[in-house]
């Protein structure tokens, strides 16, 4: 950190004083090891609480799901592309259908 403090010193209004892990300036001080301990505690405390308060795990089957308040009962309804085009056909079908019908009828 000493090379970094020497590089920052010309642009920083005050000098940086290093004492072990602690940096002291006119604006305050910073202790990297203490910050690391506090951040670790903030993340570890909820993790430990979740692991200790965990109840019995329930095994979920394929159709034991509810999506948008709708219970899915067939395997094809679980796929994202199921019933994908009816909305497009409902809104733009009048533009596409006659051309597509003429095209497929011309191939006979």
pLDDT digits (tens, 9 = 90+) for 17-62: 777 777 777 777 778 888 899 999 999 999 999 888 877 777 777 6
Q: Which residue has the tokens 């072990």?
A: 20
What are the Cα distances from residue 45, in Å, to 31, 38, 41, 104?
21, 11, 6, 65
Model confidence band, residue 93 (pLDDT cutoffs 50, 70, 90): confident
User: For residue 48, what pLDDT is reported?
Assistant: 92
Give me the residue spans of the domains in the chain: 2-52, 66-106
Concatenated DSSP letters of 12-64: SSS--EEETTEEEETTEEEEHHHHHHHHHHHHHHHHHHHHHT--PPPPP-TT-
63 has pLDDT over 70 = no
Give the pairing of strands 17-19 and 28-31.
unpaired
Model confidence band, residue 99 (pLDDT cutoffs 50, 70, 90): confident
């Amino acid at each position: 950190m000493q090379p970094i403090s020497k590089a920052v010193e010309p642009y920083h209004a005050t000098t940086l004083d290093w004492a072990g892990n602690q940096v002291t300036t006119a604006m305050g001080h910073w202790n990297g090891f203490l910050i690391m301990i506090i951040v670790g505690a903030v993340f570890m405390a909820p993790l430990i609480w979740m692991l200790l308060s965990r109840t019995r795990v329930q095994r979920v089957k394929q159709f034991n799901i509810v999506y948008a308040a709708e219970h899915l009962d067939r395997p094809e309804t679980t796929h994202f592309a199921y019933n994908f085009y009816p909305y497009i056909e409902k809104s733009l079908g009048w533009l596409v259908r006659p051309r597509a019908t003429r095209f497929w009828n011309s191939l006979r």
